[in-house]
Amino acid sequence: MDKVRVIEVKQSIFADNNAHADRLRARLRSEKSFLVNLMSSPGAGKTTTLARTIADLGGEMRIGVMEADIDSTVDAEAIAAAGAHAIQLHTGGMCHLDAAMTEQGLDELGSADFDLVVLENVGNLVCPAEFDTGAAKNVAILSVPEGHDKPLKYPLMFQVCHALLINKIDVLPYFDFDMDKVVSYAKMRNPSIRIFPICAKTGEGFDAWEDWLREQTAAWNSGE
Amino acid sequence: MDKVRVIEVKQSIFADNNAHADRLRARLRSEKSFLVNLMSSPGAGKTTTLARTIADLGGEMRIGVMEADIDSTVDAEAIAAAGAHAIQLHTGGMCHLDAAMTEQGLDELGSADFDLVVLENVGNLVCPAEFDTGAAKNVAILSVPEGHDKPLKYPLMFQVCHALLINKIDVLPYFDFDMDKVVSYAKMRNPSIRIFPICAKTGEGFDAWEDWLREQTAAWNSGE
């Protein structure tokens, strides 16, 4: 395996992150590159979900991945092993990525060469939700062991996400997790959120998630 | 159940959080009040662990709890139901507590009336580790479903903690979680960290954790 490329990204010195994010979206639109910002708690299964998605969709589209991490290359190595082009972004202790940091990553990756770029954000349900990265869509993963009350406790994350993957449904029998409640709490935060129960370990539920991702990528890249 | 008291805490306008934290520790020492700062990812089991600890130790010491949350009272209600005096701290979107915010909570709670005060920090493995709250000891909870690689990915959290609870050991058979690895990774960050495997749902492993907490509380309150 090639050594993983590590980029030390720096926060913007400019105040207006939202304007920067909008400029970045315009650039990605013109490059026909669909950027997904993937967020979750630590250990919810971002990397495993991404590795399976790459294995399933890698034959039909060019996928690039930016792995954000405080200080390791564990995830980028896993993603490179799954067959995607991956770079590691080190945030130097920062708990989130902003549009400027994302753009540094996209420049390094060469975003124009990819139909789909996934930014795996820092594992955190609070701070990443506060910063627009310039992504076309935000996707959150909530795993069954975390509990169904999370949309009550971390409202902004569920409000800003276009899709929510409920991961680790294979362990539903061992946890007090109420699927109806989590769906209703998430929709309370964002009535139009799309919800996909999945198991990244077994692949259960991936068809619906990947259909959504395929449709969204095609729509963005055709200029819709 | 009484309505939970909610305090809107504000970050200090002064830069020197560390000096503030030291002053707060001196105050708590003179009040004979042992403050534990409890940190973890969302859903690792802070509240359930705390509720069981209160049920077990509530007869022998006076316990007060400060529940920090972005925007709900779910946890304070659970803790009040477990029989402890609890207040809710709302951080207004902030992802962590600093010493000034903690002190506002202690003032409201009346820390001198308690032998042990537990601050349940915001669910987040990144930001809370960066701010000294003034606590006598930091304790982190890592749950089995999060994976054994977390000390590699969130180094500071494991470095600043005096004790680590590995929760949800009842589901070990259903996850690829290597207990030896997590112990060795955590000790790599902090060689003197005390590690207690527990299950907050069944009570397994609580004797050792509660013995440690009892000893630490007694030592602090006797001025050792």
- pLDDT tens track for A68-89: 877 677 778 888 888 889 998 8
Interface contact flag, A156 B130, Cβ < 8 Å: no
Q: What is the mean pLDDT of chain A?
A: 91
Interface contact flag, B150 A125, Cβ < 8 Å: no
Contacting B residues, span 139-158, partner chain A, CB-CB under 8 Å: 143-147, 149-150, 152-156
What's the whole-number mean pLDDT along residues A143-157? Answer: 94
- By Cβ distance, the residue of B42, B71, B152 closest to A74 is B152
Question: Which site among B154, B160, B177, B178 would you substitute to test the A interface, given the most A Cβ atoms closer than 10 Å to its Cβ?
Answer: B154
- By Cβ distance, the residue of A74, A95, A145 closest to B145 is A145
- Residue A102 confidence (pLDDT): 94
pLDDT (tens digit, 9 = 90+) per residue, B165-218? 999 999 999 999 999 999 999 999 999 999 999 999 999 999 999 999 999 999
- Residue A10 confidence (pLDDT): 62
* Sheet containing B116-120, strands listed edge to edge, beginning at the edge strand earlier in sequence: B5-8, B85-90, B63-69, B116-120, B34-40, B137-143, B163-167, B194-197
Q: What is the pTM of this model?
A: 0.84
pLDDT (tens digit, 9 = 90+) per residue, B147-168? 999 999 899 999 999 999 999 9
Instruction: Walk me through the domains of chain B, giving residue ranges and CATH numbers.
Output: 5-221 (3.40.50.300)
Residues A158 and A145: their CA atoms lie apart, in Å, by 17
Q: Is B26 on the interface with A (CB under 8 A)?
A: no
Range list of β-strands (E), A16-162: 34-40, 63-69, 85-90, 116-120, 137-143
Chain A neighbors of B89, CB-CB under 8 A: none
Chain A residue whose CA is closest to B152: A72
pLDDT (tens digit, 9 = 90+) per residue, B4-43? 676 676 655 556 898 999 999 999 999 999 999 999 999 9
Per-residue pLDDT band at A119 (split at 50, 70, 90): very high
* Residue A84: closest CA among A66, A108, A103, A102: A66
Residues B125 and B60: their CA atoms lie apart, in Å, by 31
Checking ipTM against 0.85, whether it exceeds it is: no
Chain B neighbors of A75, CB-CB under 8 A: 153
Per-residue pLDDT band at B84 (split at 50, 70, 90): confident
CB B9 within 8 A of CB B104: yes
What's the whole-number mean pLDDT along residues B78-101? Answer: 86
- Residue B157 confidence (pLDDT): 96
Question: Which site among B46, B169, B174, B185 would you substitute to test the A interface, given the most A Cβ atoms closer than 10 Å to its Cβ?
Answer: B174
Q: Is A195 on the interface with B (CB under 8 A)?
A: no
Apex CA B100: angle with CA B87 and CA B80, to 5°? Answer: 10
What's the whole-number mean pLDDT along residues B98-115? Answer: 94
Nearest-CA distance B211 → chain A (Å) = 27
Q: What percent of chain B has pLDDT over 90?
A: 74
pLDDT at B3 over 70: no
Per-residue pLDDT band at A2 (split at 50, 70, 90): very low
Per-residue pLDDT band at B79 (split at 50, 70, 90): confident
Chain A neighbors of B146, CB-CB under 8 A: 41-44, 145
